[in-house]
Amino acid sequence: MRGLIIKDLMSFRKRLAIVVFVTVAVLIMAVMFSISAKSGNLYQMTIPGPDTTEQEAEYAKEVMSFAFMVLMILPMGAVGDTAKNMLFEDRKSGFTAVASVTPLTVRQRVLSKIITICGLYLAGAVLSIVISSLVSLFTDLVTFRQLFAVVTIGFSICLIYTFLMFDIGIILNGSEMYSETFALMIILLAIFGMNIKNIISLIKAGDNFASVIIEQAKNVTAVVLDRSYVFFIIACVLGVISYFVTVAVAAKKREVI
Amino acid sequence: MESVKNAIEIRNVTKDYGDFKLDSITFDVPEGSVCGFIGQNGAGKTTTIKLLLDVRAKDAGEIFVFGRDMSKESAAAREDIGVVFDEMGFNEYLTAKDINIIMRNIYKNWDEKVFFDYLKRFALPSKKKCGDFSRGMRMKLQIAVALSHNAKLLVMDEPTSGLDPIVRHEILEIFREFVLEEDHTILLSTHITSDLEQIADEIVFINAGKIVLKGNKDELIERHGILKCKKDERSKISDSLVVSEEDNSFGIQLLVNDRTACEKLYPKSVIEPATIEQIMLGYVSSPKRG
What share of chain A in percent tops pLDDT 70? Answer: 100
CB–CB of B50 and A7 under 8 A?
no
Q: Are B49 and B97 in contact (CB under 8 A)?
A: no
DSSP code string of B234-285: GGGS-GGGEEEEEEETTEEEEEES-HHHHHHH-TTSEEEEPPHHHHHHHHHH
Sequence-separated contacts (24+) of B100-104 with Cβ below 8 Å = B100/B126, B101/A3, B101/A6, B102/A3, B102/A4, B102/A6, B102/A7, B102/A10, B103/A3, B103/B145, B103/B148, B103/B149, B104/A3
CB–CB of B55 and A7 under 8 A?
no
> Which residue on chain A is closest to B83 by alpha carbon?
A101
Helix axes A209-226, A54-93, angle to 10 degrees: 50
Spell out which residues of chain A touch residue B85, defining contact as CB-CB under 8 Å: 94, 97-98
> Which residue on chain B is closest to A106 by alpha carbon?
B75
CB–CB of B106 and A89 under 8 A?
no
pLDDT of residue B119: 93
DSSP 8-state symbol, A137: G
Q: Is B83 on the interface with A (CB under 8 A)?
A: yes
Give the contacts of B95 (CB within 8 A, at least 6 positions apart).
Answer: B125, B126, B127, B128, B129, B130
CB–CB of B85 and A97 under 8 A?
yes
pLDDT tens digits, A125-178: 998 888 888 888 888 778 888 888 888 999 999 999 999 988 888 888 777 888
pLDDT of residue B287: 53
- What is the radius of gyration, based on Cα positions, of chain B? 21
Helices (H), ranges, chain B: 45-52, 70-77, 96-104, 112-121, 135-146, 165-178, 193-199, 217-223, 259-265, 276-285
CA distance A40 to chain B (A): 46
CA distance A242 to chain B (A): 22
pLDDT of residue B290: 39
pLDDT tens digits, A20-65: 999 899 888 888 888 888 888 888 888 887 777 887 787 888 888 8
DSSP 8-state symbol, B124: -
Q: Which residues of B167-179 are buried (b: 16+ CB within 10 A; e: fewer)?
A: bbebbbebbeebb
| A interface test, pick of B65, B71, B72, B91 with most A CB neighbours within 10 Å | B91
Tens of each residue's pLDDT in chain B, 290 residues: 556 789 999 999 999 998 899 989 999 999 999 999 998 888 899 999 999 999 888 999 999 999 999 988 888 899 999 999 888 888 888 999 999 999 999 999 999 999 999 999 888 999 999 989 988 889 889 999 999 999 999 999 988 777 788 888 888 888 888 988 888 999 999 878 888 888 899 999 998 899 988 999 889 888 999 988 888 888 888 888 888 888 887 788 889 988 888 888 888 888 888 888 888 888 887 554 43
Residue from B208, B273, B287 nearest B244 by CA: B287
Mean residue pLDDT across chain A: 86
CA distance B200 to chain A (A): 24
pLDDT of residue A186: 92
pLDDT tens digits, A175-204: 788 888 999 999 999 888 888 888 888 888
Query: Tell me, what amino acid is at B178?
Result: F
CB–CB of A103 and B76 under 8 A?
yes
CB–CB of A94 and B78 under 8 A?
no
